[in-house]
Amino acid sequence: MAHKSEKSDHSIARACMSYYQRRLPHWHPADAAIFLTWRLFGSLPAGPRNNSDVKAGQAFVLMDRGLDRAEFGPRWLSDDRIAREIISAFHFGQNELGFYELYAFVIMLNHVHLLFQPRVPLARITKSLKWYTARRANQILHRTGAPFWQYESFDHWVRNERELQKIINYIEYNPVAAGLVGTPEEWRWSSAHKVLELQA
């Protein structure tokens, strides 16, 4: 049986975390940076992908590698007009709305990665970004009545500074790992591209 002090510690920890649930539950400490990923609707084959022998981190990497190959489903994010709208939305969320502090991002052919320090609940951030970018992308593509983004997003709260730097590298090297460019700075739709602009 837990001591009273242990119960209090758990209560305090729970009070300092935000929570929301869609298909999966999402718990986040109030002061933690968030690594967020979402993908285009229909960008992976349908069917069971749950494997109890595979850890969550490994499952994410396997999914991400499958997305990097872009062998299935739409590749609408390769349209420069859509990629530009998404980057604009990322910066608007930081600079105009004050929803978060943006650390790193990349827009791949069929999915996006985003790392930020939230200033408002995560559900508000994801709803705002996904709703606006889906609306603008569907206008560009002249699509109506069909989903643009997959409903569920993947999110992971960052444990420490070392992990933060590791995730920044993972995000910005994603186009290199996918074989799209030779260096992170060459990929125009990434926070790493700014470095190339500053050196020019």
Please give the sequence-ordered ranges of beta strands (E in DSSP) within the chain, or none if there are none: 17-21, 25-29, 34-39, 100-107, 111-118, 154-157
| Helices 56-69 + 161-177 axis angle, to 10 | 30
pLDDT at 66: 76
Residues contacting residue 197 through CB under 8 Å, at least 6 positions apart: none
The answer to whether the predicted template modeling score (pTM) of the entire model surpasses 0.85 is no
Query: CA-CA distances (angstroms) from residue 167 to 125, 159, 163?
Result: 19, 11, 6
For residues 3-12, give the mean pLDDT. 41
Report pLDDT digits (tens) over 110-154.
999 999 999 999 999 999 999 999 999 999 999 998 899 998 899
pLDDT at residue 47 above 80? no
Percent of the chain with pLDDT over 70: 76
Q: Which amino acid is at 194?
A: K
pLDDT at residue 192 above 70? yes
pLDDT at residue 199 above 60? no
Instruction: Report the CATH number of the 28-199 domain.
Output: 3.30.70.1290
